Amino acid sequence: MTRLAHAVAATLAFIVVSLFALPAWSLPRFALREGVPCSTCHVNPSGGGMRNAYGRYVYGPTRLPLGFPGSRERAPQLDLGDTLAFGADARTAYIDQRPKTGEGLRTFFQMQADLYVAARVFDGLTLYYDQGAYGSFEAIALYQKPLTDWASVYVKAGRFMPTYGLRLENHNLWIRQDIGYGPRDKEQGVEVGAQIAPFLVQVGLLNGVPGERQLDDNKGKAFVARVEALGRLGPLRLMFGGSYYRNQTGVKSDASGKTVDGRSNLWRAGLFGGASLGRFTYLAEADLVRLEPFSANKTDSKSYSFQSHQELDVLVVRGLELTFNFEYREPDLDTKSGSMRRVALGFEVYPMPNLELKALYRHVWGKGPASRSLDGLSEYIAMAHVFF
């Protein structure tokens, strides 16, 4: 396949993604604002998905909502003793897409509907299942062992989203879906992590077959590694880290997970970080992806793409947050087929515990043939998120 064909395929994939994947905003800002790891509030040490008891009963209801005096809304208490716990996330959005030319799209979209159950088999061992909308699921056996107050280790096996970069809930950011971390890009394998404060080191061995396929039909496996340092310096919270993903024997898919002819090597690397001071939180990530299809002449067919994301969140009062996002993407650094910039402005309100409302405006500027179809695209998005 020629580089131009790759560029066209990537652009088509991007358009599909833009039409049917909606933002869910990011939550690593909570971890950064507090200066604590995702596992403080989530069952999964990599963050996302079901919240643990602290997230559900302490942080969520006391730190997120506006907190009208006298209101005593509370989380549904569906736990069965200390053995079984349940949770859910449901996000419903209304999106109004207005391209520069052609027909727009105005539609409701159930972007997320996940039901979670976590079963504590014995102290340290948890079985976790997440049934998502549209057939997506995660199933994990997780063993966690605290070593000291500042060190712990875990082993995770099953089907899950591989760790990488900032686990932003907004899965159609260019640093997520475009590099193969869309909502359905779950993989099967094993992940080992060690938390030695302030560092979190995670290493995974995976099938390297994201998506719906259950079995790996090639001999190689994917390797993923992520290192994060997260800590406090007085009132300042700082985070810095890097990620690496390599699927050497590859799969029949491109960087966005779309099936293409021939196998390919895939390589992703990125840096991320952020800082938080009081009501201000800044997050950033930049990723480089190399896709190398198998062909007679490998050198010619390599393609590199670059994605970056920056985000500034301003917590006006408890429960009301403003967000400013800037994304930059170059789909093919070799052919210089184009570049895109996307700016998002919006706000988020938690009027009461377990309810989040969002409004967002996004606009895309594109340059070059690979980006022409998206140039001028404006999006107005409203979303309601119920969670417990």
Partner 1 sequence: MRIEWMVAAATLSSAAAAMLPACSTPQPASPSSPSGAEASDGKRLYEQRCATCHGIHGDGRGPTAHVYGSPAPRDFTRGLYEFRTTDAGKLPVRADLVRTIGQGIPGTTMPAWRSLLSPREIEAIAQYIESFSPRFAAEPESARAPIAIPPEPPPPSATDLEVGRMFYFTFRCWECHGVYGEGDGPAAATLADEWKRPIRPADLTRGVYKSGATGADLYRTIATGLDGTPMPTFRLAVVVGKEGLADLGKHIDKLDPAIRAKVTAFVQTLPTDEQIFALSDPDRAKFGERRLWLLTGYVKSLAHRGVFDWLSHDPSAP
3-state secondary structure of 45: coil
Length of the chain equals 388
Nearest to 228 by CA among 269, 267, 272, 286: 272
Stretch that binds partner 1, among 110-118, 154-162, 277-285, 364-372 (CB under 8 A): 277-285
Out of 2, 77, 110, 259, point to the residue binding partner 1 (CB under 8 A): 77
Residue by residue, DSSP assigns 187-212 as EEEEEEEEEETTEEEEEEEE-S--SS
Out of 315, 333, 349, 355, point to the residue binding partner 1 (CB under 8 A): 315
Q: Is 86 in the site for partner 1 (CB under 8 A)?
A: no
Task: Collect all residues with Cβ–Cβ distance below 8 Å to 173 and sequence separation of at least 6.
Answer: 23, 26, 309, 325, 327
| C-alpha–C-alpha distance, residues 268 and 251, integer Å | 14
Q: Is 235 in the site for partner 1 (CB under 8 A)?
A: yes
| Per-residue contact flags (x/-) with partner 1 for residues 182 to 221, judged by CB under 8 A | ----------------------------------------
Which residue type, as a one-letter code, is found at position 140? I
Q: Is 324 in the site for partner 1 (CB under 8 A)?
A: no
Stretch that binds partner 1, among 76-84, 210-218, 265-273, 324-332 (CB under 8 A): 76-84
Q: Which helix (H) or strand (E) holds 273?
A: strand 264-277
Stretch that binds partner 1, among 6-14, 67-75, 91-99, 153-161 (CB under 8 A): 67-75
| C-alpha–C-alpha distance, residues 61 and 75, integer Å | 8
Asked if residue 359 lies in contact with residue 82, where contact means CB atoms within 8 angstroms, the answer is no
Out of 9, 15, 19, 40, point to the residue binding partner 1 (CB under 8 A): 40
Stretch that binds partner 1, among 10-18, 31-39, 182-190, 380-388 (CB under 8 A): 31-39
| Per-residue contact flags (x/-) with partner 1 for residues 147 to 176, judged by CB under 8 A | --xx--------------------------
3-state secondary structure of 214: coil
In terms of CB distance, is 77 or 110 closer to partner 1?
Answer: 77
Please, what is the minimum distance in Å from the beta carbon of residue 38 to partner 1?
11
| Per-residue burial over 197-208, b = 16 or more CB atoms within 10 Å of its CB, e = otherwise | ebebbbbbebbb
Site for partner 1 in 328-387 (CB under 8 A): 353
Out of 100, 146, 262, 298, point to the residue binding partner 1 (CB under 8 A): 146
Instruction: Tell me the number of residues near partner 1 by CB under 8 A.
Output: 38
Residue by residue, DSSP assigns 54-122 as HIIIIIHHHHSS---TT---------BTTTEEEEEEEEEEEEEEE-SSS--EEEEEEEEEEEEEEEEEE
Q: Is 96 in the site for partner 1 (CB under 8 A)?
A: no
In terms of CB distance, is 104 or 146 closer to partner 1?
Answer: 146
Please, what is the minimum distance in Å from the beta carbon of residue 155 to partner 1?
17
Nearest to 118 by CA among 169, 184, 185, 44: 44
3-state secondary structure of 131: strand
Please, what is the minimum distance in Å from the beta carbon of residue 8 to partner 1?
46
Q: Is 277 in the site for partner 1 (CB under 8 A)?
A: yes
Residues that bind partner 1 (CB under 8 A): 33-34, 36-37, 40, 52-54, 57-58, 61-64, 67, 69-72, 74, 77, 79, 82, 146, 149-150, 232, 235, 277-280, 315-319, 353
